[in-house]
Amino acid sequence: LKEYTKEESLNIFYYIYNPAVDENQNCSLMIELELQLEEKKFNLNPQKRQKKVGEERAILEGYQIPLSALPESGEYLLRVKVTDE
């Protein structure tokens, strides 16, 4: 595993496949990120996204987490929850 310093940021990217769309091929999503260190959970600000979905039916999303914002160092688990609205 790569180790990071507090001065760095963690950049994550992920695809969302087959979101529900309206008649104009737009989707509305609520994206929630949660970091967990042992039994401690940290929720990052939820992000509401409204985007046009192309023929590939996939949306690329990303998020930058400044590691200086984390309360302590350690091995974290990242969960991404996406809700169609």
- Tell me which residue of 79, 2, 65, 3 sits closest to 37, measured CA to CA: 79
What pLDDT was estimated at residue 18? 95
- Tell me which residue of 30, 85, 29, 25 sits closest to 55, measured CA to CA: 25
Q: What is the pLDDT of residues 1-55, one digit of tens each?
A: 778 899 999 999 999 999 999 999 999 999 999 999 999 999 988 999 999 998 8
What pLDDT was estimated at residue 71? 87
Domain boundary assignment for the chain: 9-84
Collect all residues with Cβ–Cβ distance below 8 Å to 39 and sequence separation of at least 6. Answer: none
